[in-house]
Amino acid sequence: MLPKDAAAAEGKVNVQINGKWYRFPKGTRIADACNSVGAHVPCFCYHPKLSVAGSCRMCLVEQGMPPRLAPGATPQYNEDGYQTISWMPRAVIACANTVAENMGIRTDSKLTSEARRGVLEFLLSNHPLDCPICDQAGECKLQEYTADYGRGTHRFTESKTKKGKNLSIGPRVNLDQERCVLCRRCVRFMKEIVGEEVLGVVGRGTHNAIACYPGTELDSNYSMNVVDICPVGAMTSKDFRFKMRVWFLKSTPTIDVTNGTGTNINIWTREQQVYRITPRQNDEVNSCWMPDDARLAYKYINAPARLTTPLVRTDAGADQRPSTWDATIGLVTEQLHKCAPTEVAMIASARMTNEELYMVRALAKQLGITKLDIVPRTGEADDLLVSADRNPNSTGAKLILGKEGKGLRTIRNGVRNGSIRFLIALGEDLTSEEAGFTAEDLAGLDYLLCVSHSENATTKAADVVLPGVTFAEKYGTMINVAGRIQRLNKAIEPMGEARSDWDIYRSISQSLGCDCVNVIACPSPMAVLEQMALEFEPMHGLTWGNIGNEGKAIIETGVTIPLIEREKAKK
C-alpha cells in the first residue's frame, strides 16, 4: 500500500516539509501545517480567526508538486512510495494555499529566505523606524521578523512617504498610518467578528492607509482587540500609551471577573503595579477576543481606595482606626459570639471564587446562620462575549451555597423591620444599586462586619472592616455561565496587610471554634479545591493541575456564548 493511499484512508495527505514527510488533514493551510511541525512561517496578515487576505506576502515559501504526467504515462514511485517533487521556480504564500498529496515545502531554502528578505525590505521602505517611541516595540512582528530574516541595512535613498501619525480614530484607539504594513487584520476583524464596518483602506499605491469611513469612529466595545491583532504599532491603545515598555511586564494567565463569561485574560504587571489586560486564546470561552470594558476594569487594583489594614470602630460614632489582624480577629470572634443566630444575616458575593464560597459556607454553618444570600447582578448581554449575568461565579454560588440571590429581599426587609440586627457583608458594597440597601439601613444596624478590598459606603459604615484582595491577587476557581470551571492566578501580592479572602473566613471560623478539619486544616486554595472535589458531585476528580489554563466544562447549564457558537458554526 502506497503512503498516499494510507493517508487518504485517514482523510489526510502526505506533505514533505524541509525534507521530512508528515501527514496533515486535507484542507490544512500550508502556514498552519509548517508551524505545527516547528518550521516557523512568519505572517503579518494571516490570523486563524479571520478570513485570509494574502496581502502581506511575508509567508512566502518554496513549494513543489509531482510533475504533471504526459498522456498515457503512469506515475513513478521511489522506494519510499513517494513521487519525485518538481520545485516551482517562484515562491507561493503559505496562508492562502492548502496542502496537497505529495506536496513539498521548504521554509529554510535560499529561495524562501530571499523572498522574506525582499518582502521585509519593501515593508520597511516607508516604515518610520520610530521604535524608541512605539508602544509595540518588544512585541512587534516587524521588529522580530526583521531581526530574524531582514537584511539589516536600507538601500532606498528616497525620502519616506509621509502619512498621519498619532491619529485618534476612536475613544480608546490611536492610529499611526506610517507604521502600518497594510495587513488589514483590523479591517477584517471589525467586519467579520464585530460586524461594524468602520475601518477601510483609503488612498492609492504608496499612499494607501487605514482610516475610518467618514462620519464614523472606532467606538465599538471590542475596538481594543485591533490593538492586539495589529502585528505592528499602527493601532495602539490610548490607555496603555507610554505607560511601560512591554519587556518589563510579566504576564499572568487568569480570567476576567466583570461578567459571567469568564473571558480568559493575561494580566501584565511590573512589581506590584498592573499595567494592562489582554485576552488569552481559549476557543471554548472567548476565542481570541475580549470586550473593552473588561479590559479597562483594572484601575481599582492599584487605586488609593484600597484597604491595607483591618479597621475597627471601638465606640459608636467614633472614627474607624487601624488595627492588627490578631486583635481584630479576636474582637470579631467576641462580637459574633454575642449575636443571636436568628438576628444575624450574611451577604456573600457571586464575585467570590469557589474556595471563598466554600469557606463562607463553613463560617455560616459555624455561626448557625440561615439568612444567607448573594447579590444578583444582571445587565444587558451583547451578542458576542458579554453575558447578561454580571457576576463571574453565579454558577459556583448556586452549586456551593445553593443561593441565587432570591433571599436578598427578605434580608433587606429584615434589616428594615428590625428582625435582623447584625449584618455580615462579604465582598459586596451593600449600598450598590444591585444590593439595594440605603445608608440609613446600615446606620440602623447594631453591628456591621465587612470584608472588602476597597473603601466604599459599606466599609465606612461598618464596625469592623477586614481588608481582602482583588482578583489579581488571589488563586482560586470560578465557574462561568456555561458551566466551565476556570482558574484565577495571582499576579501581584496583596496590598499592605490585606489577606486572601478565603484565609480571612477560615481564620474567623477557626477562632469561633470550628473544629472541622476539612475547613481549618486547609493550607491553600488548591487544598480547598481538593476538598470540594470530594464533596460536590460535578467537581469529582478535579485538582488544581488538571483544570489547566483552559478550564474544564463540569456543569450543563444550557447557556452558550454567542461568539463561540458562531465560530463553531463557521467551521
Partner 1 sequence: MAYISVKRPKFSLLDRLYVVELVKGLGITFKHLALSLVGKSRGKGDFSKEGVGVCMQFPEERWDARLPEYYRGAPTLVRGEDGRERCVSCQLCEFICPARAIKVTPGSVDENSSCAKQEKAPAEFEIDMLRCIYCGMCQEVCPEQAIFLSKEYLITPQDRKDAVRNKETLYRLGGTRKGLVNKWNQYK
Q: How far apart are CA 115 and CA 89, in angstroms?
A: 12
Q: Is residue 299 involved in binding partner 1 (CB under 8 A)?
A: no
Q: How far apart are CA 493 and CA 442, in angstroms?
A: 32
How do the residues of the chain divide into helix, strand and coil, expressed in percent and rounded to 5? 30, 20, 50
Q: Is residue 206 involved in binding partner 1 (CB under 8 A)?
A: no
Q: Is residue 131 involved in binding partner 1 (CB under 8 A)?
A: yes
Q: Is residue 297 involved in binding partner 1 (CB under 8 A)?
A: no
Q: How far apart are CA 284 and CA 433, in angstroms?
A: 32
For the CB of residue 303, give the shortest distance to partner 1 in the complex, in Å.
Answer: 18
For the CB of residue 4, give the shortest distance to partner 1 in the complex, in Å.
Answer: 53
Coil/strand/helix, residue 515: coil
Q: Which is nearer to partner 1, 24 or 240 (CB)?
A: 240
- The residue range among 62-70, 203-211, 245-253, 466-474 that interacts with partner 1, by the rule CB under 8 A, is 245-253
Site for partner 1 (CB under 8 A): which residue of 74, 159, 417, 546?
A: 159
For cell 448573594, name the residue. 374
Site for partner 1 (CB under 8 A): which residue of 151, 207, 241, 568?
A: 241
Buried b (16+ CB within 10 A) or exposed e, 436-457: ebeeebbeebebbbbbbbbbbe
Site for partner 1 (CB under 8 A): which residue of 37, 85, 96, 137?
A: 137
Q: Is residue 270 involved in binding partner 1 (CB under 8 A)?
A: no
For the CB of residue 133, give the shortest distance to partner 1 in the complex, in Å.
Answer: 4
For the CB of residue 135, give the shortest distance to partner 1 in the complex, in Å.
Answer: 9
363, exposed or middle or buried, with CB in 10 Å at 0-12, 13-18, 19+?
buried
For the CB of residue 198, give the shortest distance to partner 1 in the complex, in Å.
Answer: 25
Q: Which of residues 160-199 bind partner 1 (CB under 8 A)?
A: 160, 165-166
Site for partner 1 (CB under 8 A): which residue of 191, 243, 313, 421?
A: 243
Q: Which is nearer to partner 1, 130 or 383 (CB)?
A: 130
Q: How far apart are CA 169 and CA 165, in angstroms?
A: 11
Q: Is residue 37 involved in binding partner 1 (CB under 8 A)?
A: no
For the CB of residue 267, give the shortest distance to partner 1 in the complex, in Å.
Answer: 20
Q: Is residue 331 involved in binding partner 1 (CB under 8 A)?
A: no
The residues that bridge with 14 in the sheet, in sequence order, are 23
Residue of 303, 302, 276, 300 lying closest to 290 (CA atoms): 276
Q: Which is nearer to partner 1, 246 or 386 (CB)?
A: 246
The amino acid at residue 390 is R
Q: Which is nearer to partner 1, 245 or 365 (CB)?
A: 245
Contacts for 203-207: CB closer than 8 Å, 24+ residues apart: 206/126, 206/161, 207/161, 207/163
Euclidean distance between the first and the last CA atom of the chain, given in angstroms as a whole number: 32
What are the residue ranges of helices labelled H in 299-389? 325-338, 354-367
Q: Which of residues 248-267 bind partner 1 (CB under 8 A)?
A: 248
Site for partner 1 (CB under 8 A): which residue of 167, 244, 457, 527?
A: 244
- The residue range among 226-234, 237-245, 252-260, 442-450 that interacts with partner 1, by the rule CB under 8 A, is 237-245
Task: Give how many residues touch partner 1 by CB under 8 A.
Answer: 17
For cell 498610518, name the residue. 177
477, exposed or middle or buried, with CB in 10 Å at 0-12, 13-18, 19+?
buried
For the CB of residue 266, give the shortest distance to partner 1 in the complex, in Å.
Answer: 21
DSSP at 177: T
Q: Which is nearer to partner 1, 230 or 488 (CB)?
A: 230
Angle between helices 354-367 and 525-535 (to 10 degrees): 70
Q: Is residue 247 involved in binding partner 1 (CB under 8 A)?
A: yes
For the CB of residue 158, give the shortest distance to partner 1 in the complex, in Å.
Answer: 12
Q: Which is nearer to partner 1, 213 or 248 (CB)?
A: 248
Q: Is residue 308 involved in binding partner 1 (CB under 8 A)?
A: no
Interacting residues with partner 1 (CB under 8 A)? 128, 130-133, 137, 159-160, 165-166, 241-245, 247-248
